[in-house]
Amino acid sequence: MLKEFKNLSPAETQVMYEAIPLITILVAGADEDMDEVELAEAKRLADIRGFNNLGHIIAYYEHVTVNLAERINQLSQELPNEVVPRQAEIGQRLSKLNTIFPILPAPFAYLYYRDFKSFAHHIAEANGGFLRYMTIGPREAKVVDLPMVTPVPRPSEIDFPDLP
């Protein structure tokens, strides 16, 4: 168990671990076409973040990358096939982060929130646009900022001067 998850219930811990696969499905499937490029980018990005995340949440990504593709496939099969109901279900699941983030010790809520949004943006930009312009389509734009998750402000620079 990760040290920052010690105050979480098993269900809350599961929500945290499912966030990356759910964000991948939410964003990659927003245009009704979750393709291999977006899934490969999710795996590649999670792998990179497991090695290079300024040391803050590397262990999280080390855990998440194990069987990431299989977990995305499994969740995809559990979720509705049509975009609107699927997005509603994922939104409901990701909104549970709003009760989990306050439980996490500082500055982890901010780090996870910031990282989840960044991850969503990278997935949205993975496959789209013309000559890399307008890479985020209008359907992806509606979900890429994770509107179901309440923003977490950056902690004080005095207390945490080395945060991104």
pLDDT at 158 over 60: yes
Distance CA 154, CA 72 (A): 30
Distance CA 97, CA 103 (A): 10
For the segment 15-74, what is each residue's pLDDT rounded down to a tens digit? 999 999 999 999 999 988 787 888 888 998 898 888 765 567 899 999 999 999 999 999
**How many whole angstroms from its chain centre is CA 99?**
16
For the chain, the domains span 3-141
Task: Please answer whether residues 72 and 23 qualify as being in contact, where contact means their C-beta atoms are separated by less than 8 angstroms.
Answer: no
Distance CA 31, CA 64 (A): 25
Return the amino acid letter for 18.
Answer: E
